[in-house]
Chain A
Amino acid sequence: MALTGLDIFKQLPKTNCKDCGMSTCLAFAMALAKGSTELDLCPHVSESAKKFLDIASAPPIRSVIVGVGPNQLTLGGETVLFRHDKTFINQTAIVIKISDTLAPDELDEKIRNINGLSMKRMGQRIGVNAIAITNCSQKPETFKAVVDIVAARAKNLNLILLVENAIALEAVLPGIAAQKPLVGSATANNWQAMVALAKRYAVPLIIKGNGLNDTAALVEKVASEYKELVIDTGMRNTAKVLVALTNIRRLALKKKFRPFGFPTIAFTTAEDPNDEIIQAGVFVAKYASIVILKADEKPYVLPLLTFRMNLYTDPQKPIAVEANLYEIGAVTPESPVYVCTNFSLTYYAVEGEVLNSKIPGYIIAVDTEGTSVLTAWASGRFDAQTITDFVQKSGIAEKVSHRTLVIPGYVAVISGKLQEKSGWNVIVGPQEAVGIPAFAKAYYTKDA
């Protein structure tokens, strides 16, 4: 964090008592600054020093947990403004909103629909994270009934209770608090009652202000009592929300402005589901921890979930596709066999161009731990031996009648050795995937 070892040292007893396990208080302070030990190990530190150090060493944006169990959400905890600076950490929660005024059969249908918003792409399951229920009926008992139905039927989804009436919230919480729903909103008018409830039932709370300054003032008041908070600026205009969320993130990270050191929530306003997804995309890109929307059909939700997946990919880690044998198009025993790495950009480039070539083919994506052709070759993960092993394991020999592999032009140097080790004939293909259609045409059309 921002504190140096010397800043911390000033707050310690300076007795060098070694009770913390370190030889001196200075050594302990240095270890604290590095984050390699914990302040609790010092039994003699004063309360005031503890408070000071706790505050100073707290992360700039707090992590807040919603829900329980394997699908629980961690919100916030971000440390950068741009993903290339390090990585974004906790994916924006995508949440579908429903009203407690739905008729029973409509509610049933909605819940079934939202439960189905979980889909597989690129070998990964992605889905929406929660259902938000609004108290449009204004009736506490209706709200409670609907919340209980949703909780019982959408067991894999977290809950968000959008209700500003503390009485209605109080009606619901005893039965549902154990599932740790996010509740709110606490506003300038109701915050004392809402904070008391959130505290009593230990559930996270949305603080809704009116613009940045007002929101900061309200959060400051509440945060001295309760810290499991999510910020809503109250703004709904897309352009203004973009600016507000950017300012919140900047203030939290660059100025350590405490009232904004919490996760944020944004709401779509567009009526058309297409416009709504585009609007939600802006909020995912620019710093919302939660986006609440109404669009609940797969073709709308899939692109948004994919964008979130892309944005939150760790840029320091190469991404990999499953190392496997892939069939592209209507393959036959005569189809060509291309060998490449399992770095996703390599694989998808090759896949795209094999498709483009209009000559169906097999792709063997060798496990190179997600590194590209040259990197993998240089590090021994894409040499004659590893490729031979993988080709044998892949089962390609049973699928094709020929014994010819096409390897990337960049590793032409291994062709002799690969031929020798694998017993397969090896053709050196183009260096870049874009050359595959021309290559395939030259080699395979006459035989096909």
Chain B
Amino acid sequence: MNLDSIKEKYIGSIHTVTLGATKDQGGTRTNTVTVGGDATLPFLFFEGEQSNKAVVAIEIWDIPPTEWNSVLQDAYADVFSNPVAWAQKAVEFGADLILLRLKGGDPDLGNKTPEQLANVVKDVLAAVGVPLIVIGCGNDEKDNSIMPVIAAVAAGENLLLGMAKNDNYKSIVAAALVHNHKVLTLGTVDINMCKQLNILITELGLAAENILMDPGSCALGYGLEYTYSVMERGRLDALNGNERLAMPVVCNVGHEAWRAKEAIAPEKDFPDWGNQAKRAILWEALTATSLLQAGANIMVMRHPEAIRLFKNNVNELSA
């Protein structure tokens, strides 16, 4: 029997993308992070290259997330009201990147001005050396006024800016174009819509190599299989030469997993499910490692123990 006989021959690969910029490159990061380049399905090293391991971005907010589950509070409570300290703690926990969600810009959650938020971005950039992903508050109109300001104050830092969506992508793409940042798209767990959004953005002049995509990440038990299959199909399409789906994939797992009932419902309400802290951490970790099997490149996570489990898994499978 000859193993060569079942090596798949692919003609395409995922784009290799570097985030962040060091001093020499016009930024202030102490290191950059490179993702993508995968030339086969996850961890099948015998038939193709995957020189860049999947990495973790830890999610932090500019305002204290009062709704976060107590298990997360236990890990971060002392830094919740200080994004700088929070970012530093995230780096201690092994963050390869920081994802800063500018939640405080939300008109319902303090309505911070773009300039106030830009100061938070500057402070976080000054406090940590890892590259940054910055995403808006989720209110389209507000985000359209925030992102150009963020892009300008962080010019040269080669940020990843998000989220660009099918019905709202122009201003964020324009901001990234002017100040040389990358753009993160957010899909609706629909492969054709992901493709279409990538096309629309490249038509605005942003190179395909400057786009990363979140196909729409669902948590374990809450549509994970849809995300899983969209990612597998996208990866196979890209390997078979479809450039429009060759973007590295970002999965926003922390946000989704920590909304799942199985993660947050107390044991007294669901004695059938056992200890809440244990299942919550594993809920996030297993959501992440499952999507890793479908081809994720950047995992956005929250709990330090879940992050440790995810990184162990990446290392074990890459050894």
Contact = CB atoms under 8 A, between A and B. Distances in A.
A165 B285 CA distance: 39
A279 B282 CA distance: 12
B293 A282 contact: yes
A93 B138 CA distance: 41
A437 B278 CA distance: 30
B226 interface: yes
Interface in A283-340: 285-286, 297-300, 302-304, 306-307, 309-311, 313, 315
Interface stretch (A118-126, A129-137, A185-193, A221-229): A118-126
A302 B222 CA distance: 14
A212 B3 contact: yes
B220 A120 contact: no
Interface in B214-254: 218, 220-226, 228-229, 232-233, 236
B259 interface: yes
Contact of A278 (B224, B225, B313): B313
B1 A344 contact: no
A300 B46 CA distance: 32
Contacts of A122: 221
A350 B5 CA distance: 49
Interface string A356-384: 00000000000000000000000000000
A84 B225 CA distance: 10
B283 interface: yes
Interface stretch (B84-92, B169-177, B205-213, B269-277): B269-277
A344 B223 CA distance: 8
A306 B313 CA distance: 19
Contact of A82 (B236, B259, B281, B316): B236
Interface string B285-299: 110011001000000
Given A82-B232, A242-B43, A302-B274, A281 B289 contact: yes
B316 A238 contact: yes
A310 B225 CA distance: 5
Contact of A247 (B6, B232, B316, B319): B6
A299 B275 contact: yes
A309 B225 CA distance: 9
A255 B5 contact: yes
A298 B273 CA distance: 6
Nearest to A312: B225
B288 to A, nearest CB: 9
Contact of A307 (B218, B286, B317): B286
A434 B286 CA distance: 25
B290 A298 contact: no
The contact size tier of chain A is 35 or more
Contacts of A298: 272-275, 279
B203 interface: no
Contact of B279 (A82, A251, A302, A437): A302
Given A84-B233, A254-B6, A302 B262 contact: yes
Interface in A119-170: 119-122
Contacts, number: 133
A69 to B, nearest CB: 24
B317 A238 contact: yes
Interface string A70-90: 000000000000111000000
| Interface residue SS majority, chain B | helix
A401 interface: no
A300 B282 CA distance: 7
Nearest to A286: B293
Contacts of B316: 238-239, 279
A238 B318 CA distance: 10
A297 B274 contact: yes
A250 interface: yes
Given A120-B272, A239-B317, A278 B233 contact: no
A83 B231 CA distance: 12
B17 interface: no
Determine which residue in A216, A243, A297, A441 has the highest number of CB atoms from chain B within 10 A of its CB, and name it. Answer: A243
Contacts of A12: none
A303 B313 contact: no
Determine which residue in A254, A255, A310, A352 has the highest number of CB atoms from chain B within 10 A of its CB, and name it. Answer: A310
A216 B1 CA distance: 9
Nearest to B278: A299
B178 interface: no
A255 B6 contact: yes
A304 B286 CA distance: 8
B30 interface: no
A285 B108 contact: no
A438 B139 CA distance: 10
A367 B45 CA distance: 47
Interface of A: 82-84, 119-122, 212-213, 216, 238-239, 242-243, 246-247, 250-251, 254-255, 257, 274-275, 277-279, 281-282, 285-286, 297-300, 302-304, 306-307, 309-311, 313, 315, 344-345, 348, 352, 434, 437-438, 441
26 contacts: A83-B225, A84-B229, A84-B232, A121-B221, A212-B1, A212-B3, A239-B319, A243-B44, A250-B6, A251-B6, A255-B6, A274-B278, A274-B285, A275-B309, A278-B310, A282-B293, A298-B272, A299-B274, A299-B275, A299-B279, A302-B273, A307-B290, A311-B228, A315-B229, A345-B226, A348-B223
